[in-house]
Structure 1
Amino acid sequence: MPARPRREEPEVPEGWEWDGSLFEGSAPYYERGRLPYAAGLPEALRHALLLDGSGRLLDVGCGPGTVILPLAPMFSEAVGIDPDEGMLAEARRRGEGAGVGNVRWVRARAEELPAGLGAFRVAVFAQSFHWMDQERVADTVHRMLTPGGVFVHISDVKEPLPSAGLPYPVPPTSGIRGLVRRYLGSVRRAGLGVLVRGTPGGEAVVLARAGFAGPERLRVPADTVLERTVDDVVAWVYSRSDSAPHLFGPRLAEFDSDLRRLLQEASDGGRFSERVPDTEVFVWRRSATAD
C-alpha cells in the first residue's frame, strides 16, 4: 500500500486575522482526536536543555496542556497561555487529574505578551507559532527570556507514513475532506475567516532577526501504531480549526451522521490504524549577552 500523507492544520495566509471562534467547541475533542507527540519528547527536552527543576517555562498557545503538563515538573513554575477558554478549562481539568500543581493558566493571545508574566528560561510553541504575528511575538519572547534562554518549536515530522502492514485501514482522510467541503464549501475555513493562500515561509528568518541563534534540530522517534475508533476519528475532525463544530451551524447533526456513516463504510467493525509520526524539535537560543 502507498504511504499516506500526514494530516495537519491548514497554513495561515498573510493578512488573516485571528478571532475568538477559531477553535470554538474543539477543546473537548482535542486530546482524543489528535495523535500524540512521541512518548520520549519530555526526556529528550530534559537532556537537550539540561532541565533540572529550576527556572520557569512558558507555553504559548498551550491548548489543553498537551506539552506543558509533562514538562512542568522539570521547572520550578510553568505558565500556559491560550486565548480559548475552552482549551484552558480542559488544561486545568487534566492538570488537576495528573496532580500537576505548579502550572498557572492565563487566557491571553500571544500578541498580548509580556502581559506582566515575568521572565522565563524556556518558551515552548507546539504547532502554534503559525497562528501568530510572528515578528511581534518573536521579539517579545526574546525579551522575556533570561540570558541563555531558549525558544522551542515542536511539531510532527511532516513525512509520508507507510500504511503497509497495519492491522486495520487508515482513516479515509480524502473522503473526510470531501465531506467537509460538501458542507462548508471549497475554501478552507478558519474562525470567521477563510484560508485562501498558504503562509509565506521564513520562520527561521523571523527568529534570527529577533536575535535567536540556531536552530538545533532534534528528532524524537515514535515507532508507535495506535488503534483508532470511529469516535477517535470524529474527534480529530472536530479538533481542527477548519472543521470545528460551530462551523456547521444547524447542520452539525446531519454532518456528524454522514461522517460516521463514511467511517463505518471505510472499515468493517469501525477500527482504524494510525502510525504516530516522529516529533521534530527546533531549539533557538537567546544570546547570553543579549540585552
Structure 2
Amino acid sequence: MTDAWKWDPTLYSGSAPYYPRGRVAYPAELATAFAAQLGLDGSGRLLDVGCGPGSLTLPLAGSFEEAVGLDADEDMLAEAARLAADAGIGNCRWVHRRAEELPAGLGRFRVVTFAQSFHWFDRPRVAAAVRGMLAPGGVCAHVHASTHELVHPAIAELVREYLGPVRRAGRGTLPDGTAGGEAAVYRAAGFHGPRRFELPGRVVTRTVDEVVAGVFSLSSSAPHLFGERRAGFEADLRRRLAPAETFTARLPHIAVDLWFTKGC
C-alpha cells in the first residue's frame, strides 16, 4: 500500500448484500479455538474493528457479555444487524465509525479483533488506540485468513477488462496491494507477542451465484466501480463461468496472532 492511497467511504460501496453469500463463513472451530486459547467464559466485552457484516463478531459473540462491531460502512452494519436478528443473537452492538476515531468513548474490552481489516487503517494510530482500550489482561487478536478465493482465471481477466490493470480500491488504486508487516506496527504500539494458533485450510464448493457474489464482495471489484456497466459485467462473468454449476476452492489455513499488553 502506498502513501498516495487514501481511504474514502466508497471502498466497499454496494458490497454489503453480496458479502454474506459471497464470502465463506469462518468455521465453528475458530470460535472454539478462541475460547480455549483465551479462557473465554461469557464475561467481558469484545470489540471487532472493521467488522463488516459481523463475519467474526457473530461467531464470537456467545463467548462474551457484549460484542461490539465497528465499521465505517453503514450498509455493512445494517447487514450485520439483520444477520444477528436472524440468528437470535441479542448481545451485539453495531457502531458506525472509522477505526481512526477510536477510542470513541466505547470503554474497555477483554478482546479486540482485526479480521481482514487492519491493512485498511492508519495502523500505528489504531493500534495505539486499541492498546489503551484493553482491560487489564486484555488481548488484541489479528486474524490472518481468506474467506474468498478466485475460483476461475476468467474472473481476474474480466475485472481487468472492465476496470483496468491496476487494482482499484475506493476512489483510488493499490498497484502494490495492501500493507503487510503488521507485527512491527503492533510492537511499536507497545504490544508483546505474538502467540499464534492455527486452524487447517478447507476445501469448499461454491455455486455460480456464490462466486458472482464473492466478486462483488471485494473492494477491488465492488459494484460501484462498474457504474452503469455493472449488469453487463455480471452477464459477461456468468457467461465465462458457464457451463460449470459449481466450483471447488481450497482456502488457506487460518492463523490468529494474539498480542498482549504485557510479556506473555
The alignment's TM-score, normalised by the length of structure 2, stands at: 0.94
Is residue 274 from structure 1 mapped to residue 245 from structure 2 by the alignment? no
For 1:286, give the aligned amino acid.
T
Structure 1 residues 195-238: Cα deviation after superposition (integer angstroms, max 9, x where no partner): 1224554311110111111001111124x433211101001100
Q: Percent identity?
A: 57
State the 1:157 CA deviation: 6.9
Q: Matches of residues 107-256 of structure 1 in structure 2 within 5 Å?
A: 107-156=96-145, 171-172=151-152, 174-199=153-178, 201-222=180-201, 224-256=202-234
Report the equivalent of 1:167: none
State the 1:273 CA deviation: 1.4
CA distance in 2 between partners of 1:144 and 1:39 (Å): 27
Q: Is the 8 A contact 2:154 2:241 kept in 1?
A: no
Q: Is the 8 A contact 1:22 1:191 kept in 2?
A: yes
Report the equivalent of 2:236: 258
Q: Is the 8 A contact 1:62 1:68 kept in 2?
A: yes
Report the equivalent of 2:73: 84
Match of 1:27, SS state, is coil
For 2:86, give the aligned amino acid.
G
Structure 1 residues 151-205: Cα deviation after superposition (integer angstroms, max 9, x where no partner): 10112279xx9xxxxxxxx821x22111011111111110111112245543111
Q: Is the 8 A contact 1:14 1:200 kept in 2?
A: no
**Alpha-carbon spacing, 1:38–1:29, altered in 2? closer, same or farther (3 Å):** same
**Alpha-carbon spacing, 1:39–1:275, altered in 2? closer, same or farther (3 Å):** farther
CA distance in 1 between partners of 2:105 and 2:231 (Å): 43
CA distance in 2 between partners of 1:38 and 1:70 (Å): 9
CA distance in 2 between partners of 1:254 and 1:73 (Å): 42
Q: Is the 8 A contact 2:71 2:98 kept in 1?
A: yes
CA distance in 1 between partners of 2:255 and 2:142 (Å): 8
Structure 1 residues 76-126: Cα deviation after superposition (integer angstroms, max 9, x where no partner): 111100010110011000001111111110000100001110111100000
CA distance in 1 between partners of 2:183 and 2:78 (Å): 33
CA distance in 2 between partners of 1:18 and 1:139 (Å): 19
Selected match of 2:32 from 43, 49, 55: 43
Question: What 5-or-longer segments of structure 2 have no aligned partner?
Answer: none
Structure 1 residues 22-73: Cα deviation after superposition (integer angstroms, max 9, x where no partner): 0001011111111232331000000001101111100000000111111111
Higher RCO, 1 vs 2 (CA within 8 Å, ≥6 residues apart)? 1
Report the equivalent of 1:7: none
Match of 2:54, SS state, is coil
CA distance in 2 between partners of 1:54 and 1:108 (Å): 25
CA distance in 2 between partners of 1:18 and 1:60 (Å): 16
**Alpha-carbon spacing, 1:52–1:83, altered in 2? closer, same or farther (3 Å):** same
**Alpha-carbon spacing, 1:67–1:157, altered in 2? closer, same or farther (3 Å):** closer
Report the equivalent of 1:75: 64
Is residue 53 from structure 1 mapped to residue 26 from structure 2 by the alignment? no
CA distance in 2 between partners of 1:102 and 1:232 (Å): 29
The alignment's TM-score, normalised by the length of structure 1, stands at: 0.86
Match of 1:106, SS state, is strand
Match of 1:152, SS state, is strand
Q: Is the 8 A contact 1:37 1:276 kept in 2?
A: no
State the 1:258 CA deviation: 0.3
